[in-house]
Amino acid sequence: MSLQNPRRSGGDFFGPALAGTCLAVVISVPLAAFAAAAFGDDYDTRVLIYGGFLAWVCAGGVSLFMKTRRAENQRMTPGRILLWTLSVWCWPLLLLASRRS
In a domain, 43, yes or no: yes
Q: How far apart are CA 96 and CA 74, in angstroms?
A: 23
Side-chain half-sphere CA neighbours of 72 within 13 A: 22
In a domain, 37, yes or no: yes
In a domain, 86, yes or no: yes
Q: How far apart are CA 74 and CA 77, in angstroms?
A: 9
Tens-place pLDDT, residues 16-58: 888 899 999 999 999 999 999 999 899 999 999 999 999 999 9
Q: Per-residue pLDDT for 2 more than 80?
A: no
Residue 17 confidence (pLDDT) = 87
**What range defines the domain where residue 25 resides?**
16-100
Tens-place pLDDT, residues 44-97: 999 999 999 999 999 999 999 988 888 888 888 899 999 999 999 999 998 888
In a domain, 9, yes or no: no
Residue 90 confidence (pLDDT) = 94
Residue 7 confidence (pLDDT) = 52
In a domain, 11, yes or no: no
Q: What is the CA radius of gyration of the chain?
A: 16
Residue 50 confidence (pLDDT) = 96
In a domain, 87, yes or no: yes
